[in-house]
Amino acid sequence: MERWEGFDKCPGCGFDIVTGEGARSCAYGDCPYLPEELDVYCPDCRFNFFTMEGNPPCDDPMTCDHGAEQRGHVENVRRWAAARQAPG
């Protein structure tokens, strides 16, 4: 099992890393414990490649060089979220 597959939010944290919504139980803007493999935000403009939400300054965020690595993490987030919804 990869380290990111076993990731769980802090107790009391209401932030949903899948949707990017909810209140955090800490004062951090980004979760300091989120494994890099689950980070789907462009490091330049914070466009969310999972939800496709944000205001990127580039013409096509899906081809922008800044978010190449984070676009590759989208499938990890899908797998992580599916594992949390699976019964038992």
Mean pLDDT per 10-residue interval, the chain, length 88 residues? 87 85 82 92 93 93 94 95 80
- What total number of domains does the chain contain? 1
The reply to whether 86 falls in a domain is no
Rounded distance between C-alpha atoms, residue 24 and residue 46, angstroms: 17
The reply to whether 74 falls in a domain is yes
pLDDT of residue 19: 80
Q: Which residues pair with 6 in a beta bridge?
A: none
pTM summary value: 0.85
Q: Structural domain of residue 57, as residue ranges?
A: 1-80
The reply to whether 62 falls in a domain is yes
The reply to whether 87 falls in a domain is no
Q: Which residues pair with 48 in a beta bridge?
A: 41, 53
Rounded distance between C-alpha atoms, residue 25 and residue 28, angstroms: 9
The reply to whether 85 falls in a domain is no
CB atoms within 10 A of CB 47: 24
The reply to whether 63 falls in a domain is yes
- CA separation, residue 14 to residues 27, 40, 77 (Å): 13, 18, 17
Handedness of CA 17, 23, 25, 27 (dihedral sign): positive
pLDDT of residue 88: 58
